Amino acid sequence: MSLLPPEAVEFIGFIAPRPTSEIHPATGPSIDLDYLRLLAQAHEWGGFDRVLVAFHSTTPDSVLLAAQIAADTGQLGLMIAHRPGFTAPTVAARQFATLDQLSGGRVAIHVITGGDDRELAQDGDHLTKDQRYARTREFLDVVRQSWSSTMPFDYAGTFYKVDRGFSDVKPVDGIPVYFGGASAAALEVAAHHADTYALWGETQAQVRDLIGRVRDAAARHGRKPRFSLSVRPILAATEDAAWARAQNILAETRAVRAAKGLGPAAPPQNEGSRRLLAAAATGSRLDKRLFTAIAAETGAQGNSTALVGTPEQVADALLDYYDLGVRTFLIRGFDPLEDAIQYGRELLPAFKAALTRRGSRVEAA
């Protein structure tokens, strides 16, 4: 599971330690081991390359959950969300390298600096956004040196000072760094450190623009990152049935929020959510089949836009993003387990078949 070649296509799923989504309020214990195991194995059996293990200031630890997922699967890759600032970079580097060794080289990290001051305060972090991104850059400087240095190294930054840092444990074959964030400060960190830059499910015009800006910034440092798109496919046997399901999910989302006493979502503090809401303000159905109403309803708190249609239609929509330079697709459903199974059975094969047909036509021409 080392760094992928530029043109390789990768599918990443999403794993939470208990059933939950916008339409399924979390209930029961915070960790359901049987469910965690089943969801992980469903992704492996379905042909996913990796799964994202998320991070939040109130949820179970992502590294330890990833270790359990590795034990419950044989080849499934891990994309472990990590927020810099709470674990020393030398320690974090050894943790990830250790798990990479134990899992046979299956670890990647998804660096999330954090865009909500209220959530960050729950972990005692009160830095400004620009300060957090400056810290993230230093964090990754040190982590990469820990993974690669064959001799002790020194590092002197604003947030970290390391004297003769060294890690005896190294990654099996490199640990890919995924990185998200759309602000100017975030793009500067991405330019230096992102192996794969992660976008949410924006319009094609927005994706084209942001990919271009990231490429330009990275080129100034001699780097060429890959690009990932996060979206919520809503599938059904017919297009009409898929749109009906999308409307039902929207209605259930509203009902769940109302039952919790939630009013209109607060204005988001992060640029990624603002970009999704800007798209939603122009319409609930954009491009071929991008559905933005759920993002509008929830304040675009995370990956919340959908592609709606039959598996073949959604695969075709994903190909449009492929043509813009996206090579990784992070997909998760509103019915997490059932959708993961359906994606593995129907969407991934439909996409791969469509991509193969396109390659065959190009070769024939």
pLDDT, tens digit (0-9, with 9 covering 90-100), for 104-118: 999 999 999 876 788
Tell me which of 11-20, 161-170, 262-271, 309-318 is least confident: 262-271
Name the pTM for this structure: 0.95
- Please give the pLDDT value at position 6: 67
| Segment holding 317, helix H or strand E | helix 311-323
Instruction: State the average pLDDT over residues 320-337.
Output: 98
Per-residue pLDDT tens digits for 300-326: 988 999 999 999 999 999 999 999 999
Percent of the chain past pLDDT 90, that is, above it, reads 84
- Please give the pLDDT value at position 2: 54
Site of tokens 């293990």: 53
- Please give the pLDDT value at position 365: 42
Cα pseudo-dihedral 83, 86, 91, 97, rounded to 10: -20
* 3-state class (DSSP) for residue 348: helix
- Please give the pLDDT value at position 162: 98
Closest CA to 172 of 106, 75, 94: 106
The angle formed by the CA atoms of residues 158, 160 and 163, to the nearest 5 degrees, is: 125
Per-residue pLDDT tens digits for 25-78: 999 999 999 999 999 999 999 999 999 999 988 899 999 999 999 999 999 999
Percent of the chain past pLDDT 70, that is, above it, reads 97
Residue scoring higher pLDDT (361 or 60)? 60
Sequence-distant (≥ 6) Cβ neighbours of residue 220 within 8 angstroms = 191
Give Cα 37 distance to the centre of its chain.
Answer: 20
Tell me which of 135-149, 175-189, 239-253, 306-320 is least confident: 175-189
- Please give the pLDDT value at position 334: 98
